[in-house]
Amino acid sequence: MKLSTLLFQFFQNGLVLLLAPLLLGWVNQCRAWLQNRSGAGLLQPYRMLFKLFHKDAVLADNASVLFRSTPYILFSCMWLAASLVPMVATDLPLSAAVDVIALVGILALARVFIALAAMDIGTAFGSLGARREMLVSFLAEPALLMVFFTAASISASTSLVTIVETIAHRGFFIYPSLAFAGIAFLMVLLAENARIPVDNPSTHLELTMIHEAMILEYSARHLALIEWASSLKLLVYMSIGFALFLPFGITEAGNWAALPLSLAALFAKLAVAGFGLALLETLSAKQRVFRVPEYLGTAFLLAVLAILIHYLLGA
């Protein structure tokens, strides 16, 4: 392994850590603008993390080791996932070891731990949130896998690096299958990141909450890690979306001169996608929890159609 690729891996690891709260801040700021509020500013998530890291943690009496270790597990899973997805360049030493199926596995591992930790204290809200989270994710995961399989059968590889290189190299070509998979992926992204048609990220007081219900018992540094992990998760999903559907502008292996340009491309893509997410959340209303299986069933249907169309039309 060359030193330059190793250095680049460290660069991406640092970049995602710093970039994730900024992305969350940008999405919240766009939402505020669209709702005619002035908003808290782009740096609010950083201030929030700073505040939480300087507080004293409060734990319930019956909290076990699981409860205390889950924030660290969650954070490391998301950090690992974020450093695997090619965002700026395809030259990632870690990415060679892990393909898209393992990536789904890493995300599932994080989910299992947060659900277990939510039930650990034994509060009503915790187990309610955990059950709903498992309901959403067990329906969203097959759809996500099908989206990955579509992209994998187009490029004949399950490695994200190869998928990016294949699709980016072909130039302009209409893939009906990728269009279907893209819509399915967007629906999964909204569901998995606790966004509006499925869950409302800005509420703590409703009986409809999913993600917030699971982390109600956490405070201080534990909460900070969980918040940071969920902003990393949003970044992971967005960059998977870019890697599969908009891989243009990602630097090829060894071509270091193009790096500033691809960084600019990444920032532009994230800015547009963040605004799009805020717009989508402002325009749509939250669904009833019982409608969620129908919503995710549609996502699964679209993803399966994508793979079928790929095999029929070859595109």
Residue 313 within binding range of another protein, rule CB under 8 A: yes
Map the footprint of another protein across residues 169-198, applying CB under 8 A.
170, 173-174, 176-177, 179-180
Nearest alpha-carbon partner for 109 in 140, 66, 144, 74: 74
Instruction: Enumerate the β-bridge partners of residue 154.
Output: none
Q: State the minimum distance, in angstroms, from the CB of residue 173 to another protein.
A: 7
Query: Residue 128 corresponds to which tokens in the numbers above?
Result: 């309610």
Other CB atoms within 10 A of residue 170 CB: 12
**Judged by CB under 8 A, which stretch of 78-86, 117-125, 155-163, 168-176 contacts another protein?**
168-176
Within residues 235-254, the interface with another protein by CB under 8 A covers none
73 near another protein, judged by CB under 8 A: no
CA–CA gap between residue 240 and residue 49 (Å, rounded): 25
Contact between 312 and another protein (CB under 8 A)?
yes
Footprint of another protein on 107-166 (CB under 8 A): none
- Whether residue 16 contacts residue 235, with contact meaning beta carbons closer than 8 Å, is answered with yes
Burial call 191-212: b when 16+ CB within 10 Å, e when fewer: bbbbbbbbbbbeeeeeebbbbb
Binding test (CB under 8 A) with another protein, winner from 3, 65, 202, 314: 314
Of the pair 29, 177, the CB lying nearest another protein is at 177
DSSP 3-state assignment of 2?
A: coil
- Asked if 309 is part of the footprint of another protein (rule: CB under 8 A), the reply reads yes
Give 213 or 303: the residue with its C-beta nearer to another protein.
303
What are the two backbone dihedrals, phi and then psi, of residue 89, each rounded to the nearest 5 degrees? -140, 155
Based on the shown chain and the rule CB under 8 A, indicate whether residue 289 belongs to the binding site for another protein. no
Residue 147 carries which side chain, given as an amino acid letter? V
Min dist CB 304 to another protein, Å, is: 6
Task: Point out which residues bind another protein (CB under 8 A).
Answer: 170, 173-174, 176-177, 179-180, 293-294, 297-298, 301-302, 304-305, 308-309, 311-315
